[in-house]
Amino acid sequence: MADRSILLIITGGVAAFKSLELIRELGRAGVKSRVILTKAAQEFVTPLSVSALSGEKCFTELFDLNDEAEMGHIELSRSADLVVVCPATADILAKAANGLANDLASTAILATDKRVLFAPAMNVRMWQHEAVQRNVQRLRDDGAIVLDPDEGLMACGEFGPGRLPEISALKARILAELTPDTSLSGQHILITAGPTREPIDPVRYLSNHSSGRQGYAIAEALQARGAKVTLVSGPVSIAPPNGVNLVPVETAQDMLKACETALPADAFISVAAVADWRPAKPAKSKLKIKGGDEPVALEFVENPDILKTLSHKTKNRPGLVIGFAAETNDVEAYARGKLEKKGCDWIIANDVSGDVMGGMNNQVNLITKDGAERSPNASKTQIANWIADRIAKALS
């Protein structure tokens, strides 16, 4: 753990003093802690004791000229491998769940590109309050880790859940989060994502609402497990995950070509919403079709089915071929039909009758020849991790 570090945010609860022990325990394991103390936390512990234990400067102010000159708050939020909020009060959970950024701690949580782990500790009634539980759920949906507090006698004399977990348990969880997952190292995984664009003329095209978010999140989750990922993507407005080999394409035909070039691969995941048809003869110059008496007719030809083509390869067929089935009704029945028809190994079926396409959340059904498994309803990041865990297990 010698090269690993956390950004520890201590907020103002009576358990704040225990985070000093956490700094020391993590230090024994070789993990450096850089610490932010909120104003309320300074009622319980001092910047001096934090600095003495961490061996680092302790940060307290958002608008401190000296601190900003040394290390800006954005850089501070990204300098560590993990952000740990311990103890996390109801106040910081509410701020983080709602995207508030009115002090250094909440700003760092919003600005970080790393995972955030919250260790809540508060009075039992506060913890059980609907508002707090709503915020916890929201943070989990956004991909943060929110630990459940321990149950026991509290500093205020009440009994129930709300105590900070034992420092040994927190240390073990933090070390586990800092240990890189290499379950897919050495594997090459090819993914398609986003929509395709099929030109009608030089300025018009046919496309669909796919945002690419689910495919990009899967690419990121696989890459985080050590896989070499090739992401063949239609036009989207989101940034590709770091370290992934992005191959941008527009049409279904280009997408197929790019996939074939990227082979061999250990797994192929076809998340793209590929247009089934394309205009037969895209016009070379802009069509003038407004105001005519006759309805405008476009002739279409069928696009190649990329999933089916790669599934049926005799040479270089990826060992695990996964298709997606976006349906608005009879989801499982249609998905099973596609498993057969396309010749793939798994179909991940999702119901797109709601706002899944372009939306933030998803729920999927993983269908294999032998059975089916349903994911929780969760953010696309969580669904991506759920899928990546199953791919890692299958490829191992």
Catalytic-residue membership of 156: yes
The secondary structure of 16-85, three-state, reads HHHHHHHHHHHHHCCCEEEEEECCCHHHCCCHHHHHHHHCCCEECCCCCHHHHHHCCHHHHHHCCCEEEE
How far is Cα 317 from Cα 133, in angstroms, rounded to an integer? 47
For the record, the structure tokens of 283 come out as 């016009």
Beta carbon of residue 316, minimum distance to ligand CTP (angstroms, whole number):
16
C-alpha distances in angstroms, 216 versus 233, 242, 311? 9, 11, 22
Single-letter residue type at 71: M
- Helices 104-111 and 90-98 meet at what angle, rounded to 10? 40
CB of 273 to ligand CTP, least distance (A): 6
CA distances from 325 to 270, 272, 322, 365, 395 (A): 10, 10, 10, 10, 22
Tokens linked to 291: 């105001």
Q: Is 6 helix (H, G, I), strand (E, B) or coil?
A: strand
- Choose between 136 and 335: whose C-beta lies nearer to ligand CTP: 335
Residues forming contacts to ligand CTP in the complex (CB under 6 A) are: 192, 252, 270, 272, 274, 276, 303, 305-307, 323-326, 338
Answer yes or no: are the C-beta atoms of 388 and 219 closer than 8 Å.
Answer: no
Q: For 335-358, b where at least 16 C-beta lie within 10 A, e where not — what string?
A: bbebbeebbbbbbbbbbbeeebbe
Taking the least distance from each CB to ligand CTP, the nearer of 38 and 192 is 192
In the complex, minimum distance from the CB of residue 252 to ligand CTP, in angstroms, rounded to a whole number? 5
Nearer to ligand CTP, 37 or 326 (CB): 326
Q: Closest CB to ligand CTP among 26 and 347?
A: 347
The C-alpha atoms of residue 256 and residue 92 are separated, in whole angstroms, by 47
CB of 343 to ligand CTP, least distance (A): 11
CB of residue 381 vs ligand CTP: minimum separation in angstroms?
Answer: 20
Residue among 58 and 321 whose Cβ is closer to ligand CTP: 321
Q: Out of 58, 156, 259, 344, which one is annotated catalytic? A: 156
Comparison of 103 and 305: residue with beta carbon closer to ligand CTP: 305
For 142, which DSSP code?
Answer: T
Cβ 377 to ligand CTP shortest distance, Å: 20
Tokens of 314: 């005799």
What are the catalytic residues? 156
